[in-house]
């Protein structure tokens, strides 16, 4: 089968389309024929090996333990291994499966859920990681009804989901993004939209009960001065973090900030969050703003486009397109 693989860490030119052995349905595993695979910043981190802490899991000389990129998947069950009872051949599923930038991928059944019939493969394939991260960020924030919530990176995958979910839960949402994404974010339910290049939200007179920061640009002390006493600061990705530890150091510093509850979120897929994501997609409560789809061979371009924030919304690899 065709897959996007890499032998060494680096920029997108280390990725190549290659013929590799198709996965088998080992005991306790499910093989999914990939119809769509969302592109996430996790793919960039694993591609570059940055921060270097990720190399503990991937391999120090190169990503030898996981050479095929891709984290999220939507597709059709092609085969099931011994002991698997949750799915059968032909089921349409979505969820998490490392190595999904390929024509087929092996997954753990607990990391998959049935795709709602009215939801496209592209939407489902784009939803997994942003959705469970957004759900866990809001869980960390607590009850947001009637509270003032600011979301940075609001035009990205996670941020756009947080905006929708916080709005649906009764929050007054201030969304921070680039100018090219303001229309999208406003349409997702943001009450106020701020272009971060024009306005620094941490210098204004507004005060916030909750900050969900997935952009990582503002110092923690700046957030503290615009937050209400006892407010909640949830830190997500920090793509400009240190070469070795990435956002980890910022997370450690968060525990030293007084007067607010600040913490770093390490989101991980859970069966309950997948079930909730499927429900939200089926009901229409969660919209997936897919900006562009790419053929499998175009995966390097997709990761470059994501890193450069060229599009408002999610980017999706569609293997059958190429």
Domain spans of the chain, in order of start: 2-115+289-321, 129-264
Return the exposure string of 105-139: e unless at least 16 CB atoms fall within 10 Å of the residue's CB, then b. Answer: bbbebebbbbbbeebbbbbbbbbbbbbbbbbbbbe
Q: Which of 217, 234, 191, 41 is nearest to 130 (CA)?
A: 41
Multiple choice CATH, 2-115+289-321, 2.70.210.12, 3.90.180.10, 3.50.50.60, 1.50.10.20: 3.90.180.10
Cβ–Cβ < 8 Å for 281, 116: yes
The full DSSP string for 100-134 is -SBSEEEE-GGGEEEPPTTS-HHHHHHHHHHHHHH
Cβ–Cβ < 8 Å for 138, 162: yes
Residue 320: the pLDDT is: 75
pTM of this structure = 0.92
Element holding 151 (H helix, E strand): strand 148-152
Which letter does DSSP use for residue 259 in this model?
S
Residue 322: the pLDDT is: 41
Mean pLDDT, the chain cut into blocks of 10 residues (322 residues total): 96 97 96 98 90 74 87 98 97 98 98 97 97 97 98 93 98 96 96 95 95 86 93 78 57 68 90 98 96 97 95 93 46
Structure tokens at 190: 């943001």
**Dihedral angle sign, alpha carbons of residues 279, 285, 286, 290:** positive
Beta bridge partners of 153: none
Residue 272: the pLDDT is: 98
Domain 129-264, classified CATH 3.40.50.2300, yes or no: no
């Amino acid at each position: 089968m065709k897959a996007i693989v890499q032998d060494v860490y680096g920029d997108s030119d280390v990725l190549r389309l290659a013929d590799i052995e198709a996965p088998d349905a080992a005991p306790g595993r499910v093989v999914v024929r990939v119809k769509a695979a969302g592109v996430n910043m996790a793919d960039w981190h694993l591609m570059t090996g940055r921060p270097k802490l990720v190399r503990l899991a991937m391999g120090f000389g190169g990503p030898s333990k996981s050479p095929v990129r891709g984290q999220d998947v939507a597709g059709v069950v092609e085969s099931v291994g011994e002991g698997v009872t949750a799915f059968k051949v032909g089921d349409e599923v979505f969820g998490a499966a490392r190595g999904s930038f390929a024509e087929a991928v092996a997954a753990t059944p607990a990391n998959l859920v049935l795709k709602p019939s009215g939801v496209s493969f592209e939407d489902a394939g784009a939803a997994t990681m942003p959705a469970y991260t957004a759900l866990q960020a809001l869980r960390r924030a607590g009850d947001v009804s009637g509270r003032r919530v600011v979301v940075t990176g609001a035009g990205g995958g996670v941020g756009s989901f947080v905006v929708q979910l916080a709005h649906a839960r009764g929050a007054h949402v201030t969304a921070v993004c680039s100018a090219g994404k303001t229309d999208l974010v406003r349409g997702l339910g943001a009450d106020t939209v701020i272009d971060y290049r024009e306005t620094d939200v941490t210098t204004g007179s507004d005060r916030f009960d909750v900050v969900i920061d997935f952009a990582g640009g503002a110092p923690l002390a700046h957030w503290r001065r615009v937050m209400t006493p006892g407010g909640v600061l949830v830190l997500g990705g920090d793509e400009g973090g240190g070469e070795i530890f990435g956002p980890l150091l910022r997370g450690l510093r968060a525990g030293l900030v007084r007067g607010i509850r600040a913490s770093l979120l390490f989101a991980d897929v859970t069966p309950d969050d997948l079930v909730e994501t499927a429900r939200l997609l089926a009901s229409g409560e969660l919209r997936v703003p897919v900006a562009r789809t790419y053929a499998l061979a175009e995966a390097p371009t997709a990761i470059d486009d994501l890193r450069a924030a060229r599009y408002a919304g999610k980017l999706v690899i569609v293997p059958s397109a190429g």
